[in-house]
């Protein structure tokens, strides 16, 4: 209590009364497609899961030199889990409250492992590309990025990287990659990504520059990670095998189910939702995915986010959104098309990246609203859409985009703490913009 020191005897008494099944915390789900629910997590959830984590990720977080700088909000279960994990693992933990000072803070703290959501890794890459400017420096950066990705992909082949590719990788490392690692503090060996799909391109890029990204998957209801790529157990593009102490199965419809001591005990004051989610000792995640022959999980998307076009085509928006969001000036993407004749997308521009991109492309300065209407900017976005569409069939491809006049941020309520878009809210507030995509559909239907 404020203004009163709690006696040591009282602390010991409270400690003694605490049991594993007691409530430790309530974390409210981000509510991307529905109303947030209070997830009740117990002390047992955290103790069992962090002990398994300290063992399964020992090479990352339980070395004498292990240290991490936490900049994700503690409202997010991923950050809360890492905070607790540092107790049994012995890692040094630092906090920084303001991501506007993130790069200087990383340089000062020099973490050996970094955790973040994919948007952070995207922005580090895009910022580095923008700082390269134009001309020879930009060509050098792009060459070094391609080499990093090619080298990482070659590591997954039986033959491994060729002698020529290895030589290019060493040269790129001296000229460019070392500077990129410096942006993460200079000592980062590992990065843990969660909260949304990272995508193979970025996974290979970071591994290629010497920072191995361990992508994982989990939910608030599973006390964060439930599958994770780990040292020696990594497939870039997957979210890894089951975490130590956990079990994963995929039903005939692709639905992902989770079991283990890390699964929550129920939703706060919501017995109906709890009974729907917890069935015979398994948690129904609401996500769709697949397990390969080696037990590595790949995520397709959320069941509630699957789009069914007027033609009956089922489309998982995550792949298209991730690829299109890789363009330097694209901030957020919401793929639409449910019960519509084709797939479209709402796009927002990144106000931080836009000035440098415009300058590098010989275009005059303009704000995001003007840029969203400029034919030269729209042409660049159309090319980005074409590249994103290469990952899907014609029926699943984006036919039209509409640039929104404002970005989607946590501050204006459109992003969750883990920087996922609140899809239902966006579709409601920007319904007129969605309708505008389908004003004249004849040409698109003919195609």
- CA-nearest of 225, 203, 205 to 216 is 225
Which architecture characterizes domain 306-446 according to CATH? Answer: 2-Layer Sandwich (3.30)
Task: Give the mean pLDDT of 162-170.
Answer: 97
Give yes or no for residue 447 having a pLDDT over 50.
Answer: no
Task: Give the mean pLDDT of 150-168.
Answer: 96
pLDDT band with cut points at 50, 70 and 90 for residue 33 = low
- CA-nearest of 277, 155, 297 to 221 is 277
Q: Report the chain's mean pLDDT, rounded to a whole number.
A: 90
3-state secondary structure of 422: coil
pTM: 0.79
83-86 CB contacts, 8 Å cutoff, 24+ apart: 84/46, 84/50, 85/50, 85/53, 85/54, 85/57, 85/61, 86/61
- In angstroms, the CA 182 to CA 433 distance is 41
Residue pair 74/83 in contact (Cβ under 8 Å)? The answer is yes
User: Looking up tokens 């060509």, which residue turns up?
Assistant: 139
For residue 130, the Cα-to-chain-centroid distance in whole angstroms is 22
Tell me the CB-side half-sphere exposure of residue 90, using CA atoms within 13 A: 7
User: Is 65-83+91-257+284-300's fold the same as 306-446's?
Assistant: no
Q: Which of 157-171, 190-204, 254-268, 337-351 has the lowest mean pLDDT?
A: 190-204
Torsion region of 156: left, alpha or beta (phi above 0 gives left; psi -120 to 50 gives alpha): alpha
Buried-exposed string 147-169: b where 16+ CB fall within 10 A, e elsewhere: bbbbbbbbeeeeeebeeeeeebb
pLDDT band with cut points at 50, 70 and 90 for residue 337 = very high
Residue pair 122/326 in contact (Cβ under 8 Å)? The answer is yes
Give yes or no for residue 98 having a pLDDT over 80.
Answer: no
Q: What is the pLDDT of residues 355-378, one digit of tens each?
A: 999 998 899 999 999 999 999 999
Tell me the domain boundaries of the chain. Answer: 65-83+91-257+284-300, 306-446
- CA-nearest of 87, 59, 106, 219 to 95 is 106
3-state secondary structure of 227: strand
Looking at 117-246, which runs of residues are DSSP E strands? Answer: 190-193, 212-219, 224-228
Q: What is the pLDDT of residues 60-81, one digit of tens each?
A: 999 999 999 998 888 889 889 9
User: Looking up tokens 């970071």, which residue turns up?
Assistant: 206
- In angstroms, the CA 142 to CA 303 distance is 37
The whole-number pLDDT of residue 424 equals 87
β-sheet bridge partners, residue 23? 42
Count of other CB atoms within 10 angstroms of residue 415: 21
Count, residues in the chain: 447
The whole-number pLDDT of residue 416 equals 80
Q: Which two tokens stand for residue 1?
A: 């209590």
The whole-number pLDDT of residue 122 equals 83
DSSP type of residue 6: P
**CA-CA-CA-CA dihedral for 390, 204, 237, 401, to nearest 10:** -40
- CA-nearest of 245, 261, 254, 244 to 297 is 254
Is CATH 3.10.129.10 what the domain over 65-83+91-257+284-300 is classified as, yes or no? no
The whole-number pLDDT of residue 442 equals 44
Give yes or no for residue 1 having a pLDDT over 50.
Answer: no
Q: What is the DSSP string of 164-180?
A: HHHHHHHHHIIIIIHHH
β-sheet bridge partners, residue 25? 41
């Amino acid at each position: 209590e404020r203004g009163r020191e709690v006696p040591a005897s009282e602390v010991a008494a409270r400690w003694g009364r605490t049991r594993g099944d007691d409530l430790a915390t309530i974390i409210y789900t981000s509510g991307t497609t529905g109303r947030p629910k209070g997830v009740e997590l117990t002390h047992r959830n955290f103790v069992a899961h962090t002990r398994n984590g300290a063992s399964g990720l020992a090479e990352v977080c339980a070395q004498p030199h292990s240290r991490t700088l936490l900049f994700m909000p503690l409202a997010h279960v991923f950050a809360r889990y890492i905070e607790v994990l540092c107790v049994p693992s012995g890692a040094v933990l630092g906090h920084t409250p303001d991501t506007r000072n993130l790069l200087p803070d990383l340089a000062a703290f020099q973490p050996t492992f970094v955790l973040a959501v994919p948007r952070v890794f995207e922005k580090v890459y895009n910022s580095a590309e923008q700082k390269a400017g134009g001309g020879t420096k930009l060509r050098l950066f792009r060459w070094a990025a391609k080499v990093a990705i090619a080298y990482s992909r070659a590591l997954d082949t039986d033959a491994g990287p060729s002698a020529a590719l290895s030589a290019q990788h060493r040269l790129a490392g001296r000229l460019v990659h070392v500077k990129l690692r410096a942006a993460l503090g200079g000592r980062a060996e590992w990065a843990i990504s969660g909260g949304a799909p990272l995508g193979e391109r970025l996974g290979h890029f970071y591994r290629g520059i010497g920072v191995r990204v361990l992508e994982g998957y989990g939910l608030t209801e599973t006390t964060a990670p439930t599958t994770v790529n780990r040292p020696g157990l990594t497939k870039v593009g997957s979210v890894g095998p089951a975490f130590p102490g956990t079990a994963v199965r995929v039903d005939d419809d692709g639905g992902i189910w989770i079991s283990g001591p890390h699964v929550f005990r129920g939703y706060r004051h919501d017995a109906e939702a709890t009974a729907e989610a917890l069935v015979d000792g398994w948690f129904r995640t609401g996500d769709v995915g697949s397990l390969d022959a080696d037990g590595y999980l790949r995520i397709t998307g959320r069941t509630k986010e699957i789009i069914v076009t007027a033609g009956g085509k089922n489309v998982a928006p995550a792949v298209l959104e991730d690829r299109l969001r890789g363009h330097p000036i694209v901030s957020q993407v919401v793929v639409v098309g449910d019960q519509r004749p084709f797939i479209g997308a709402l796009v927002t521009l990144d106000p931080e990246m836009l000035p440098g991109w415009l300058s590098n492309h010989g275009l005059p300065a303009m704000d995001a609203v003007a840029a969203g209407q400029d034919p030269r900017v729209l042409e660049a976005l159309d090319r980005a859409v074409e590249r994103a569409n290469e990952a899907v069939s014609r029926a699943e491809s984006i036919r039209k985009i509409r640039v929104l006049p404002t970005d989607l941020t946590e501050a204006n309520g459109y992003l969750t703490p883990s920087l996922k878009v609140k899809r239902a809210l966006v579709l409601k507030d920007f319904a007129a913009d969605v309708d505008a995509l389908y004003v004249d559909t004849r040409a698109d239907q003919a195609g």
